[in-house]
Structure 1
């Protein structure tokens, strides 16, 4: 029995770590915490079966923390994202400008006018007093953050369209935009 608990704990912990580290959205992260909970219960069971009090107490705490993670990502954060999406959808049917959730800029795809994928938005810089978007920081290339290039795209050269940020620039023009270092962005 302890071998089964050991393998369930190991596989669940590795799989859950992959889900949460991938940063694929609140729901995937929340599912990762569900799997982490299964893993911590299996580790707790292994601690009981093998008489390891440190493993038992560690995984009592880990189970509580994992359940908090489930609530945080599948409860609270998923509802916040659903509320933002509902407001964006409702605004399409109302007179005036269509809305989009600012939080979506943190992971929105940047596409050219012809639909070519240029990169992924990683952040946006806004004016403190005006609230106006000044520029986007877009990551292009690389794999899992390694080898990527950050570029500055002025907000005037972008617009939100069908859940993505769109620019009139093609790939050639986009590649000439200023490169940014990951830890030092311009103040203006």
Structure 2
């Protein structure tokens, strides 16, 4: 159960990878039980799960960790350098979003990038309770967002953000235009 919570929480490569380590300990334990009790189905199943967990460890504590560490190091170094400050594109999801007076309105869940230009077209912002139950997703055009290193700031008051029509499930728009008449 602990391993399942560690991997399901998706709180970064290290925590997810260590979740797979916990899974591996469990699958090796059950494989040992299967071997010592002659339960070949239990043994075979847990040998397979151990292989799957090994792939998870390699992916999350190996390759994915290197990606995250590289992005973090570039981001941190850019804040101390004469170069423009950077943040990772994958770091956009989960960034807090504040309104024009600095009050938290939610978090970014995705940024949609135009293929031809490579520029962000709009950011989907989730607002509502932290559990995600009853949250509303709104598409905010790039022109209405200022990017900080640790947060996104809306260039609009909260009432204009709240007036943006919530998205309908997985049916997101191709283009977003902000209606300032609201």
Tell whether 2:32 aligns with 1:45.
yes
Q: Deviations over 1:9-41 (max 9, x none)?
A: xxxxx1111111122222221111111111111
In structure 1, list runs of 5 or more residues that go unmatched.
Answer: 1-13
TM-score normalised per structure 2: 0.86
Q: Deviations over 1:55-105 (max 9, x none)?
A: 101111111111111111111111101111111222223334222111111
- Equivalent residue in structure 2 for 1:135, among 122, 132, 146: 122
Q: In structure 2, what is the equivalent of residue 76 of structure 1?
A: 63
Distance 1:30 1:104, change over 3 A: same
Q: In structure 2, what is the equivalent of residue 180 of structure 1?
A: 167
Q: After TM superposition, give the deviation of residue 132 of structure 1 in Å.
A: 0.8
TM-score normalised per structure 1: 0.84
Within-5 A mapping of 1:116-131: 116-131=103-118
Tell whether 2:74 aligns with 1:91.
no
List 4+ stretches of structure 1 deviating above 4 A.
none
Taking the aligned partners of 1:24 and 1:96, their CA distance within structure 2 comes to 29
Distance 1:143 1:89, change over 3 A: closer
Q: Deviations over 1:31-55 (max 9, x none)?
A: 1111111111121122123321111
Q: In structure 1, what is the equivalent of residue 52 of structure 2?
A: 65
Taking the aligned partners of 2:123 and 2:43, their CA distance within structure 1 comes to 47
Q: What's the secondary structure of 1:29's corresponding residue?
A: helix
Q: In structure 2, what is the equivalent of residue 165 of structure 1?
A: 152
| Greater helix fraction, Structure 1 or Structure 2 | 1
Taking the aligned partners of 2:174 and 2:155, their CA distance within structure 1 comes to 24
